[in-house]
């Protein structure tokens, strides 16, 4: 049976409804992942959960050990990953609490360990990344979305920024010119590392706030947290549905 994993982002440090059967600490050649893998049953199916920022949300986006996380999931037999990501909304359709399944990425991150092909004896492979998310997995999410009571947008370009600070208004204007609909801090190198390992990967993005400069005033953590409460309720509904349909 194909094993599915969820990587939970800001606002999703655990999955309600998950009957936990095991917690597994995994060591990898790249060091420790963000925390133990939580293995359990959701809608009668075995799933694996990993909190990207650690159990107590102490790891900022640039300090997440993406290589260890992906390696650990792969090492326990995970073949499909749905990554949950809180994002800022840039284009008009991406208002607070909107859920979207992105289909493209632009990478603005830097100085992150972004590949498993990092020297040593192994021959370098340049993986294809034309379509960064696995289309079959995206389609499963979109099919599950037909059975929920909120709208899920099918397609968006995710701009991955370095963080942990939010962006300046001018940076968001540039990102919009580049074609970004969403801005988040963790989409890369997570997606490419999954590709390098041959693991299917799709993202379930939840808008936490309008991106910098898209509204008057500044962005507050209080606003983000409040919006994410509703947003993550939606995500939980969608994830449970997708698992039950697999
Ligand atoms: N920018 C980057 N990442 C984010 C944002 C944002 O506005 N909101 C939630 N994650």
- Classify the C-alpha dihedral 86-93-235-245 as positive or negative: negative
Query: Quick one: pLDDT at residue 167?
Result: 98
pTM for this predicted structure: 0.96
What is the number of the ligand 1 atom nearest to the C-alpha of 212? 7
- Mutation probe of ligand 1 site: the residue of 159, 185, 205, 229 with most atoms within 8 A of C-beta: 185
Residue 227 to residues 51, 86, 189, 208, 223, Cα–Cα distance (Å): 19, 10, 26, 6, 6
For ligand 1, atom 9: residue with the closest CA: 87
CA of 223 to the centre of ligand 1 (A): 12
What is the number of the ligand 1 atom nearest to the C-alpha of 166? 1
Q: How far apart are CA 176 and CA 196, in angstroms?
A: 28
Instruction: Indicate the DSSP class of residue 129.
Output: -
Sequence-ordered list of residues with C-beta below 8 angstroms from that of 146, at least 6 positions apart, any chain? none
Q: Strand 19-24 vs strand 182-184: parallel, antiparallel, or unpaired?
A: unpaired
Return the closest-CA partner of residue 159 out of 138, 187, 193, 135. 187
CA of 44 to the centre of ligand 1 (A): 33
CA of 120 to the centre of ligand 1 (A): 36
Q: How far apart are CA 66 and CA 221, in angstroms?
A: 24
Query: Quick one: pLDDT at residue 2?
Result: 61
Q: Is 18 helix (H, G, I), strand (E, B) or coil?
A: coil
Question: Is the pLDDT assigned to residue 200 strictly greater than 70?
Answer: yes
What is the number of the ligand 1 atom nearest to the C-alpha of 210? 7
Q: What is the pLDDT of residues 113-171, one digit of tens each?
A: 999 999 888 888 999 999 999 999 999 999 999 999 999 999 999 999 999 999 999 99
Sequence-ordered list of residues with C-beta below 8 angstroms from that of 20, at least 6 positions apart, any chain? 38, 39, 40
Query: Quick one: pLDDT at residue 139?
Result: 98
Which residues' Cβ are closer than 6 Å to ligand 1? 86-88, 161, 166-167, 183-185, 208-209, 211
CA of 183 to the centre of ligand 1 (A): 6
User: φ, ψ for residue 139 (rounded to 5)?
Assistant: -65, -35
Q: What is the pLDDT of residues 90-100, one digit of tens each?
A: 999 999 999 99
CA of 177 to the centre of ligand 1 (A): 18
What domains does the chain contain, in order, with CATH numbers?
3-245 (3.40.50.1580)
Residue pair 49/15 in contact (Cβ under 8 Å)? The answer is yes
**Average confidence (pLDDT) over 78-105:** 98
Question: Is the pLDDT assigned to residue 16 strictly greater than 80?
Answer: no
Q: What angle do CA 77, 23, 139 make, to 5 degrees?
A: 45
Question: Is the pLDDT assigned to residue 178 strictly greater than 70?
Answer: yes
């Amino acid at each position: 049976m194909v094993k599915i994993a969820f990587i939970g982002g800001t606002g999703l440090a655990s999955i309600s409804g998950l009957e936990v059967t095991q917690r597994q600490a995994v060591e990898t050649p790249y060091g420790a992942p963000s925390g133990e893998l939580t293995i359990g049953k959701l809608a009668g199916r075995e799933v694996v959960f990993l909190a990207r920022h650690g159990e107590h949300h102490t790891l900022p986006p640039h300090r997440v050990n993406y290589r260890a996380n992906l390696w650990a999931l792969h090492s326990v037999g995970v073949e499909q990953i749905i990554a949950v990501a809180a994002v800022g909304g840039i284009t008009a359709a991406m208002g607070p609490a909107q859920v979207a399944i992105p289909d493209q990425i632009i990478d603005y991150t830097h100085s992150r360990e972004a590949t498993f092909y990092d020297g040593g004896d192994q021959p370098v492979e340049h993986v294809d990344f034309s379509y960064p998310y696995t289309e079959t997995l995206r389609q499963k999410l979109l099919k599950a979305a037909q059975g929920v009571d909120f709208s899920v947008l099918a397609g968006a370009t995710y701009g991955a920024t370095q963080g942990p600070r939010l962006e300046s208004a001018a940076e968001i204007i540039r990102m919009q010119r580049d074609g970004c609909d969403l801005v988040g801090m963790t989409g890369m190198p997570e997606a490419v590392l999954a590709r390098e390992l041959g693991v299917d990967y799709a993202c379930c993005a939840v808008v936490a706030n309008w991106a910098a400069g898209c509204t008057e005033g500044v962005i507050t953590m209080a606003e983000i947290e409040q919006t994410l409460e509703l947003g993550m309720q939606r995500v939980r509904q969608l994830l449970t549905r997708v698992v039950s349909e697999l």
